[in-house]
Amino acid sequence: MNSINVNSSEQKAGRLLAYIASQFDLQPEQLPDGGWLKGDPESRISKIAVAWRLTGPVLQKALNEDCDFIVFHESPYWQERRDPELYRSSGAYKSADDWLLHPDKKLRQLVENSKACFLQIHYGLDRLCIYDCFIQTLGLQCDKHGEKYECVYTLQNPMSLEQIAAQICRRLKLDCVRILGNPQQITNKFGNCWGGVGLSANLYFIRRAIEMGAELIIAGEMDEMGMRFMQDCGVAAIETGHYISEAIGLQYFAEQVCPQIYDSIPAKFYAEQYPRLWQMYQNKL
């Protein structure tokens, strides 16, 4: 990683964003996705909380432990598109702000009442550590080809889809993963669609991995349309989970990278209470 010409004892929040931007030869304002939710680069800090998503329970725990710099990866508030009237019931548009029980209301109040500084870093943390940490944790012996997010990985020893899925379950401590394809299919090359990159909304990166020779897509989160595209292309897929595939890199960031940025400010990764919300149900009725 590159270094930046700022004293490591500097206790301002902006140092962290400047460090991440410097790893890609960018200025902090050039980093896409995210930004300052509250506070600014000049805010002085003493304790850092790193989180995947800004939720009420996670934030409250961090504040209770006196964290005054909250760094998070995903969008802080739920976003919904405003569909045309033809799709909606008649009358005035029913805004999310009008729903008194919307979960964002409590979260906004927590943020507003807090004296902490809040910063979302999406692209920067994906590029810095999340992307690579996911694959490294799976323990697959492979060689990486490509650059940025357009890469494929060649296995040093080809494995079946079932063997790869079993190893992923062991390494991520999961009882199951979703798979697409023949379990006995032998794979030489795979693509990394961590986080939400396996969704059809990110079809470009799925397609590029397949164009580059991937026979398997290892994903965080997938939807059915994305899976059907993979099926149409004749490739297999393994879905692990959005949070699980990114939490690894965020924990690494808190424990290994933050101490390089600040030599006297502690940082801690605050894990989600439920790493994976869903479970597989088999009809027994």
Q: What is the pLDDT of residue 232?
A: 98
Q: Which fold has domain 140-240?
A: 3.40.1390
pLDDT at 8 over 60: no
Predicted confidence band of residue 1 (pLDDT cuts 50, 70, 90): low
23 neighbors 78 (Cβ within 8 angstroms):
no
Give the lowest-confidence range in 2-16, 42-56, 68-82: 2-16
Q: What is the mean pLDDT of residues 66-78?
A: 97
1-78+104-121+243-272 homologous superfamily: NIF3 (NGG1p interacting factor 3)-like (3.40.1390.30)
3-state secondary structure of 106: helix
Cβ neighbours of 105 (radius 10 Å)? 14
pLDDT at 25 over 70: yes
Predicted confidence band of residue 84 (pLDDT cuts 50, 70, 90): confident
Q: What is the pLDDT of residue 9?
A: 47
Annotated domain spans of the chain: 1-78+104-121+243-272, 140-240
pLDDT in tens, 168-203: 999 999 999 999 999 999 999 999 999 999 999 999
Q: Angle at the Cα of 165 (from 161 to 166), degrees rounded to 5?
A: 120
3-state secondary structure of 178: strand
Residue whose tokens read 């989160």: 221
Q: What is the pLDDT of residue 4?
A: 47
pLDDT at 278 over 50: yes
264 neighbors 243 (Cβ within 8 angstroms):
no
Q: What is the pLDDT of residue 12?
A: 94
Predicted confidence band of residue 5 (pLDDT cuts 50, 70, 90): very low
Residue whose tokens read 């010409």: 5
Instruction: Using a pLDDT cut of 90, give the percent of the chain over it.
Output: 81
pLDDT at 284 over 60: yes
- Would you state the structure tokens that stand for residue 95, as one six-digit string? 């805004």
Q: Is 154 exposed, middle or buried (0-12, 13-18, 19+ CB in 10 A)?
A: middle
Average pLDDT of every residue of the chain: 93
pLDDT in tens, 217-250: 999 999 999 999 999 999 999 999 999 999 999 9
- Would you state the structure tokens that stand for residue 199, as one six-digit string? 């969704």
196 neighbors 203 (Cβ within 8 angstroms):
no
pLDDT at 3 over 90: no
> 172 Cβ partners below 8 Å, 6+ apart?
137, 138, 240, 244
- Asked if 1-78+104-121+243-272 and 140-240 have one fold, the answer is yes
Closest CA to 51 of 64, 41, 62: 62
pLDDT at 7 over 70: no
